[in-house]
């Protein structure tokens, strides 16, 4: 057990070292400045290594097995229809708790002086992930080719980009990226692989992966859709209902 922990810490350290080298190279060689507060920086780097190791171990011990167990149970014929509701609710709940999304939404509200409110933005992104996961699970159950769903989705994104408010387009595109964070990805990946493993005729490599692509695609659609509707309601002199900050 001790040897396994030591090996894991060494591997994690090797993953962190390139990042530290790049930052240190520019700080010391290019800007020719020393490291400020080294008594805080070096212990902080140790905490990063330990935290990353514990996070990865937690995924392998906790989240991945839990997701695969639930997927195996939902893949049985008597429960297969409930897997869509589970994927929808899972996508919404995990996205609302995603730290990266919270940070982006707070910054968007700050920069726009409240013009973009963080709670409606987070809800729109979470709804997109929820819909995306439900559609992605439907694809796994049916065994349809992934590319046709993705092509159709990006055609919708291109059309929306033409008509959505300009100030929301870049934020909508970024919203698709922040959904693939530390909370969402492990459970989503485990769900897709678990379903593809337990549904007859499905290949875990071909069918099990791809759910994260849906989780990144559909938030762009829902965020631009919400912004377009908000602009329409504003022009009609009404205000869209939504959670307040």
Mark whether 16 and 103 lie in a shared domain: no
pLDDT computed for residue 245 by the predictor: 40
Residue 244 domain flag: no
Residue 129 domain flag: yes
CB 186 within 8 A of CB 63: yes
Mark whether 25 and 101 lie in a shared domain: no
pLDDT computed for residue 62 by the predictor: 74
The helix (H) or strand (E) run that includes residue 81 is none
Mark whether 54 and 82 lie in a shared domain: no
Q: What is the rounded average pLDDT for all residues in the chain?
A: 86
Q: Is 25 helix (H, G, I), strand (E, B) or coil?
A: helix
Number of compact structural domains in the chain = 2
- Its domain, for residue 119, covers 75-235
pLDDT computed for residue 180 by the predictor: 74
Residue 245 domain flag: no
What are the helix (H) ranges across 97-117?
Answer: 99-111
Mark whether 32 and 87 lie in a shared domain: no
CA torsion sign for 165, 168, 172, 173 is positive
Mark whether 174 and 224 lie in a shared domain: yes
Mark whether 48 and 113 lie in a shared domain: no
Mark whether 79 and 41 lie in a shared domain: no
C-alpha distances out from residue 52 to 47, 94, 101, Å: 8, 20, 20
pLDDT computed for residue 244 by the predictor: 47
Mark whether 99 and 210 lie in a shared domain: yes
pLDDT computed for residue 241 by the predictor: 52
CA torsion sign for 13, 14, 17, 18 is negative
Residue 205 domain flag: yes
Residue 241 domain flag: no
pLDDT computed for residue 243 by the predictor: 47
What are the pLDDT tens digits along the chain (245 aa)? Answer: 788 888 888 998 998 899 889 988 888 887 888 778 888 888 888 998 998 888 888 877 877 777 777 777 887 777 788 889 999 998 999 889 888 888 888 988 888 887 788 889 999 999 999 999 999 999 999 999 999 999 999 999 999 999 998 989 999 999 888 877 777 788 888 888 888 988 888 998 999 899 999 999 999 999 999 888 888 887 876 555 554 44
pLDDT computed for residue 215 by the predictor: 92
Residue 242 domain flag: no
Mark whether 211 and 165 lie in a shared domain: yes
pLDDT computed for residue 216 by the predictor: 92
Mark whether 81 and 143 lie in a shared domain: yes
Residue 134 domain flag: yes
Task: Return the exposure string of 138-163: e unless at least 16 CB atoms fall within 10 Å of the residue's CB, then b.
Answer: ebbbeeeebeebbeebeebbeebeee
Rg (CA), the chain: 21
Task: Return the exposure string of 211-241: e unless at least 16 CB atoms fall within 10 Å of the residue's CB, then b.
Answer: bbbbbbbbbbbbbbbbbeebeeeeeeeeeee
Query: What's the predicted TM-score (pTM) here?
Result: 0.78
Mark whether 94 and 119 lie in a shared domain: yes
């Amino acid at each position: 057990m001790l040897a396994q922990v030591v090996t894991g810490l060494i591997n994690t350290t090797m993953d962190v070292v390139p990042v530290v080298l790049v930052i240190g190279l520019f700080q010391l060689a290019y800007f020719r400045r020393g490291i400020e507060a080294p008594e805080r920086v070096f212990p902080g780097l140790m905490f990063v290594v330990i935290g990353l190791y514990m996070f990865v171990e937690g995924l392998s011990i906790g989240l991945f097995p839990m997701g695969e167990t639930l997927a195996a149970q939902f893949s049985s014929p008597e429960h297969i229809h409930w897997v869509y509701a589970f994927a929808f609710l899972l996508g919404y709940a995990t996205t609302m708790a995603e730290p990266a999304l919270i940070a982006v939404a707070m910054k968007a509200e700050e920069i726009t002086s409240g013009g973009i409110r963080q709670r409606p933005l987070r809800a729109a992104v979470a709804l997109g992930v929820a819909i995306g996961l439900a559609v992605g699970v439907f694809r796994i159950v049916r065994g349809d080719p992934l590319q046709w769903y993705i092509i159709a989705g990006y055609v919708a994104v291109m059309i929306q980009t033409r008509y959505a408010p300009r100030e929301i387009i870049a934020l909508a595109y970024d919203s698709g990226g922040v959904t693939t964070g530390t909370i969402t990805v492990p459970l989503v990946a485990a769900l897709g692989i678990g379903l593809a493993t337990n549904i007859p005729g499905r290949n875990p490599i071909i069918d099990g992966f791809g759910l994260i692509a849906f989780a990144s695609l559909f938030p762009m659609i829902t965020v631009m859709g919400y912004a377009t509707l908000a602009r329409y309601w504003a022009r009609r002199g009404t205000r869209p209902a939504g959670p307040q900050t």
